[in-house]
Structure 1
Amino acid sequence: MEQNFNLIYQTSFENNSFSELQKYCTDLMAKEPVKIFNLLNFSSIPEKLLITIIQNDNLQMSEIQIWKYVLKWGLAQHPELPSNVTNYSKDDFNTLKSTLQQFIPFINFDNLTSKEFLDEVFPYREILPEELHVNLLKTFISLSDPNIKPSDKSKPCITKKVNLGTIDSKIITSQHAELISKWIDRLEITDELTSPYEFKLLFRGSRDGFTRHKFHEICDNKSRTVTIIKVKDTNEILGGYNPIKWESDNVWNITKDSFIFSFNNDRIEDHILSRVMDECKALINSSIMGPSFGDGDLTILRLNYYTRKEYCRSIKSSYEKSIRKTTNNFDVEECEVFQIIDQ
């Protein structure tokens, strides 16, 4: 099995009945990642598989190893890049940055020593978001011992810039955006509500068209997105966060960081947050539906084969809680998709 791991892993996600095989593959990757990497043609590992591996909390690999493997994979996708990073042009850095942008949020740089950061990460600083790069530099320079990690200190040193500007939305306010930002960072609700991100509008149904085709045309291959919908004839606002890319390849996406939510009665305090439980069914990429979370937990603009019309629904399955009081299908008054950008 190990000799054909790549094929077996991909096959396991082509049929929902292979859930035990999916779990076996995921556990094997977490316990013996180096062995799996050495067995596979590393440069041909699908992006989704590598993301699944590095975001696993039980991964038996140091953070510097994770960084090196991610970098190795990215460089293998572009053999035309110079072998020495000191010879990179701005375009070369942008090429590598575009390839690795989805991996960066899953690397815990706090678990590097300052020596590891300066030797292995700093030469590639141009591929990091500017704010992250600056804060990392400040953090590691401030350490007195090159073998100490920021995570060894009692308080985290890396902070994010606060952006309290307005949000281009017909559905939510900046206060909603601040709360969603806290959920993304897994912060406590009692902490001060200050949004560290820009919510960049990608898609708006009333502007671009209320169809799954338009959603995929605009949002496919975009990572770190928040989908917001206003339910027709109610006071409900529903939504979900996807840390990885939307696509139309009809496969499940695995992540432990997605969540769905609802707001009711125009009150920000009246909300439900529901994080993913079944990571193997966190998100579904499908050409017959728009943004969809879990196995029906929040499905938007799904095609009904009999009526040939699109519908929306929310039925608890793969996430912690129901975000609606009813399981009835519903129509959408407005739908917006935002990309989350570090400031």
Structure 2
Amino acid sequence: MSGKIVARKFHDNLFRDILSMLKDTNSHDVIIYVGENQYDKKFTAHSNILKARSKYFKNNLSNKYITRKDNLIEIKKPSISPNVFRIILEYIYTGKMCLTNQSGEDVLGLIVASEELLFDELFTYLQEHMIKYQRRWIQQNLVLALHTVSEISNYKNLRELCIQFILEDPQVFITSKEFLSLDENILSELLKRDDLQLEEIVIWEYLIKWGIKQTFGLSNIDRTKWNKEDYEALKETLNKLIPLIRFSEISSDDFYDKVCPFEVVIPNHIYKEVLKFYMKGVLSEGVTALPPRAGVINIDSKIIKPNHAYIIANWIDRRGAKDIRKKDDLKYEFKINHRSSLCGINFGAINNLCNGYEHDHNPYLILVQRQNTYNISQQKSQNSSQNFKIYGEYNSFNPKNDSFIFSFENENDIKNTKICRDMNAVLRFNKYNQNVHVKMLEYCNGDVEWTNENFVPIKVEIFTVNVN
């Protein structure tokens, strides 16, 4: 009985022989000039291999308008560096690529080149490689990386990683020299983010520095010697960015000392709106109504959002709701253990669950949502998604009494937050009345008042709180 014949593969020899063609300068029919100077580096290649391996070369080498000189096709790629193109060419001839000793800048260049030359498989591989092995280089070269990847949607993963690094430590980024060369569109995107965790006055100061650097001639002139045209030029530079500043988050002292000196660069309607806020405390529908910046902490909740979880984490640490959390601060994990949309609102089961946490001294967070009550005229002006007030309780079972009760006006609001650490504050599930009783101190127009109410909850969620 004859055995099955197995086909032998001789790929290594095939690749070696094809690579030898690349090194043979007598059989080529294509010359490729690369580098910023079109004659910086010259490579020779074979049109049939290029067309077989690359959709880009197939399209371009089939064009009847291609440039020829001495029967050789000439291609110029000034945007690709010689080292990057050498690696690309070896990949075309062998299907192999070694990135072991390549710099982050060259790997980034390879990503750009592979996208331009339509090597889809290589483009995906190189992005994954850079995200996995070149993270430190990306952190150290954020502006270069962002400028490279920001304009092309295919760079989504790399772009998100760059933004993530900035948000992890925005103070370091904004105070770096590289920040001043940041592209306006990228800066605009950052300023739009609610989770850019910097004091607003710091953002304002560095926005002014960025604008001065970006405005021709201003960085070389002492500001005390600026004329009207200089201020107008700066105003033009910052025109699209100033509306993104959360002026209501800047103290009146800082506004007077650090913002007012640049009054002329702020659009008149915005300046009037901001003045109205500082003088009357009125938040309009415009720039002063922008939400405060707040960090985010992931939480699997249908009641609150990650920026609410960030505030709760600050309260657990006995800090202000808007305080900026640093890298070395405690990391909290909110693990969902009960969700009424899945389990229903069973008052007995909820009390038993909370009693179990108390017995084991496991810190927990409970969230309760109720529908707000409005009169008819108020209700018409309310968005239906904003009609649900949120109460919550954090229990630490800590001798220092770090427990507290809190409230948010609705799922989208982080301005009107309230917290009460009073020993007499209560959030209780009444099994027999089938309602929730809340009693907490609140500050209203300078007075301290007790909120004391009973309501039927719409949603309930319970989380254990762990420190990572």
Structure with greater contact order relative to length (CA < 8 Å, sep ≥ 6): 1
Which structure's CA Rg is the greater one? 2
Query: Which band: TM-score by shorter chain?
Result: 0.3 to 0.5
More helix by share: 2
* TM-score calculated relative to the size of structure 2: 0.30
